[in-house]
Amino acid sequence: MKLIKTLIFLLPFLAMISIANAQQIKDGETVNVNGIAVTYSVINKEKFTIKDQDFDRYKILASIKNNTGKSFNIRLANSLDLSGINSSKIIELDCVNATGARLTSKKVHVSMKSHLINVTYPTKDKDGKSITAIIPVTAGYYFDEGQVIENDAIFIVPAGEVPKVSVRSLLKN
Computed over every residue of the chain, the mean pLDDT equals 86
b or e along 119-146 (b: 16 or more beta carbons within 10 Å of the residue's beta carbon)? eeeeeeeeeeeeeeeeeeeebbbbbeee
Q: How far is CA 143 from the centre of its chain?
A: 14
33-47 confidence digits (pLDDT tens): 999 999 999 999 999
- Taking the C-alpha atoms of residue 8 and residue 4, their distance in angstroms, rounded to an integer, is 6
d(CA 74, CA 89): 11
Of 72-81, 94-103, 118-127, 155-164, which range is least confident?
72-81
pTM: 0.77
Statement: residue 109 has pLDDT above 50: yes
